[in-house]
Chains A and B, each alone.
Chain A
C-alpha cells in the first residue's frame, strides 16, 4: 500500500483535481491552508459581529437593544469560542502553518496529507456544532470557561451546552491531528541541510505550538467528558452534593486554558520574526535565543495555570508559587521583544503594510504584557479579578495582538499565496484605522476595570458611562477597518498586479521566496539543499 502511494506520488504530478473535488478531497497543503484561512474569515465575520452586538449594548447604561439577558451571555460565549478556536487558530496554525511550514523547510507536502484533510473538515464540522448550540433552547451562556455549576444541568438544562462540548471535542480532535502532522513534518521532512537550528522562526513557532496542543487539548477533552457525564449521566465530578468539586474543573480547564493562550500567540511570534527580519534586511537578532524563548514560554506555560484562580481560596504558599512562576514568563517574552527591536536596530528598514502591522503588534503586546505582570500578582488580582482590567489585558496581549500578527502575515504572504499584489495604500489605511480603533476600544477598559466594572454584564451603573461610549466608538472604527480589509481582499483578487517570486527583495531569505508566485500546486519536488540560516539568499 505504502509503496503504491510512493509510486503515485512519483508519477501523478500533473493530475489536478478540479471543482469541488479539489477542495473536499484535498490532500494538498496549500489548498488545505487556503481552506483554513477562508474558514477563519467566515468565523471572524460571525465572532466580530457578536462583539459588535456586545459593544452596542454596552455603549450606554441600562438595556437598550438586548432584553433577553441569556442572549447577551450567548454572545459573550460565542464571541470567545469563535475567536479562539475558529478564527485565530485556523488562520495562523492551520492556515499559514499549512501553507508555509512545508515551503519553509523544503518539504513537498505535509507528512500525512489525508490526515491533514480530515483535520480541516473536523474543524468545519465543529464550527457547525458550535453555531447549532447558539440556536437551541437559549444557547450556551457559560462563557468560554464553562465553569460548573453555571454549565451544569441545573443552570443550563437544554442541549445547548452539550452541543458546545461536542463542538470543542471535535475541534480538539482536529487540533490534535493537525499538531501530530506538523510535528512529524517538521521533525522528519526537512530538506537536506535544513537542520533544526537553521529552521525559520515561524517553523519553530509552529513546532512549539503543536507540542502545546498535543499536551493541553487532551486535558480539556478529559474535563469536557466529565462535564458531559455530569450533565447527562448522573456523575458528580464537579458537584459537591456527590462528593465532587467544581474547583477541579477550574484546575483542568486552566491547565488547558493557559497553554491555549500561548497556542494563540506563539505562531504570531513566528510571523512577526519573519516580517521584521525581512523588512529590516537583517537576519533576526539572537536567533537561538528567539527559538528557545518560545520553547521556554511553552514549558513554563504549563505550570502557571492557577494564576487564573487566585480567588478560589488557594493558600498563601500556592499563590506565592504561581505569582513567581508567572512573573518568570516576562523574561523570555522580554527576550523576544528586545530581539525584535535589535533586529530593526541599524537595519535598512522599509515600512510596507506587513511591517507596520508587525510594529503595531510589538506595541500591543508590550502594553498587554505590562498589565499582565501587574495581574500576575495575586494581591493585585484579588481586586482586579473578573473586572474589565482583565478584559483589556487579555485582548491587548493575545486577541488584537494575534489579529495584528494575522494581518501582518496576510499582507506578507498574500503575494505568494495568490500571485497578486495587495493595494499598498489601502493596506496602510487599514493598519492605521484598525490600530487606532482597537486602542480606542480597549485602552479605556483599563480605566473601567480599575474603577471596578465587572466582566460579562450587559448593564452597568452610570458611573461607568463615558469610557464605555469611547470603547464602543473604538469598536465601530475597528469594525469599519475590518470591512476595509475585506474590500482589500476583493481588490487584490480582482485587480492586483502580478508579483515576482520574491516580491520583498534581499531581506526575504526563507525558502518560500524561491518558488514561483503564486506557489505552484506542487513545490520542492527536488529537495532544496540548505547551507545557512538564509537558504534563499
Chain B
C-alpha cells in the first residue's frame, strides 16, 4: 500500500496539472474569441483609421471648419457582372471647396428583366486621404431595389476636411477618387449554378 503522504503528493500534482491545463485552455478560448471578433474589429479599425481607403461616415458637420482650399474629386463606378445594371456617375469630376458639404449624383438603371436589389461597396484612393473624406449621406448606406427598366439618381453628400492640407502626408494630394462597386445582395439561401 502507498503511504498517505505519497498519495497526497500525487493528488496535489494532479490538481496543479489540471489547474495549469484549464489556464492554458482559457488562453485557447481567448484567442478563438479574438479570431471571431476580428471581423467586427477589422471593420471598426478601418472606420476609425481610414485604413484601406475607408471613408468616415459618422461625421459631426460642425466639427469641420471651412477653408479657402479646393480639391478635385473624381467619381468611379463599377458593376459586378452578376448585376444587370448600368451604373454611372453624373459627372466624372468636380471641384470641391474644402470644408463645404457637396452633393453629387450617380445614376443606375436596371437593364435586366427582373427587379433586383443591389448594394454598393466603396472606398477612397489614395488610401491615406480616406480619414479626411467624410460621407454625410450616401446611397451606399442602404440597399437599392430597381424595377426592370427603371433609372434612378443616387445621391452622395460628402465633405473633405481642410485638415488634409495640414497633414504633411496628404498635403500633396490634388485629386481624390471615390469608387463604388455595385453587387447583387447576397441571399442567405443562395444556390450557385
Interface residues, chain A, CB within 8 Å of chain B? 2-3, 5-7, 9-10, 111-112, 153-154, 157, 176, 179-180, 183-184, 187-189, 214-223, 225-226, 233-234, 236-237, 239-245, 247-248, 251-252, 313, 315
Contacts and interface: CB of A to CB of B under 8 A. Distances in A.
Contacts of A7: 2, 7
Interface residues of B, number: 43
A240 B42 contact: no
Interface stretch (B68-76, B149-157, B185-193): B185-193
B24 A184 contact: yes
A225 B35 CA distance: 10
Interface string B16-60: 110011001101111110111011001000000001100000000
Contacts of A244: 39
B102 interface: no
B93 interface: no
A10 B2 contact: yes
B28 A2 contact: no
A236 B38 contact: no
B184 interface: yes
A234 B183 CA distance: 15
Contact of A241 (B28, B186, B192): B186
Nearest to B32: A218
Given A219-B35, A313-B127, A6 B20 contact: no
B173 interface: no
Given A154-B192, A188-B20, A239 B39 contact: no
Contact of B7 (A6, A215, A225, A240): A6
Given A112-B17, A184-B24, A222-B32, 5 more contacts: A2-B10, A6-B10, A179-B24, A219-B31, A315-B51
A3 B11 contact: yes
B67 interface: no
Interface in B113-157: 119, 121, 127-128
Interface in B57-89: 80
Contacts of A252: 35, 38
Contact of A157 (B32, B42, B192): B192
A240 B24 contact: no
A2 B27 contact: no
Contacts of B30: 218
B10 A9 contact: yes
Nearest to B187: A234
A235 to B, nearest CB: 9
A241 B27 contact: no
Contacts of A217: 28, 31
A234 B188 contact: yes
10 contacts: A5-B14, A7-B7, A153-B192, A180-B21, A218-B28, A219-B31, A234-B186, A243-B119, A248-B42, A251-B38
Contacts of B52: 247, 313
List the 6 closest A-B pairs by CB distance, nearest first.
A222-B35, A241-B183, A218-B31, A218-B32, A6-B10, A234-B188
A153 B32 CA distance: 24
Nearest to B53: A313
B188 A241 contact: no
Contact of B13 (A188, A241, A315): A188
Contacts of A216: 31
Contacts of B181: 240
A290 to B, nearest CB: 25
Nearest to A235: B188
Contacts of B184: 241
Nearest to A1: B14
B13 to A, nearest CB: 7
Contacts of B128: 315
Contacts of B21: 111-112, 180, 184
A180 B187 contact: no
Contacts of A239: 186
A138 to B, nearest CB: 15
A472 B9 CA distance: 59
Contact of B121 (A3, A237, A243): A243
A6 B5 CA distance: 12
B34 A226 contact: no
Contacts of A3: 7, 10-11
Nearest to A210: B24
A306 B131 CA distance: 22
A154 B81 CA distance: 13
A522 to B, nearest CB: 16
A234 B39 contact: no
Given A3-B7, A3-B11, A214-B27, A237 B39 contact: yes
A241 B14 CA distance: 52
Interface string B92-122: 0000000000000000000000000001010
A222 B38 CA distance: 9
A234 B28 contact: no
A242 B188 CA distance: 10
A112 B13 CA distance: 12
Contact of B14 (A2, A180, A219, A236): A2
Nearest to A9: B10
Contacts of A188: 13, 16-17, 20
A221 B25 contact: no
A110 B28 CA distance: 20
A180 B18 CA distance: 10
Contacts of A183: 20, 24
A180 B25 contact: yes
A215 B27 contact: yes
A248 B183 contact: no
A112 B19 CA distance: 12
B39 A241 contact: no
A218 B11 CA distance: 31
A242 B21 CA distance: 40
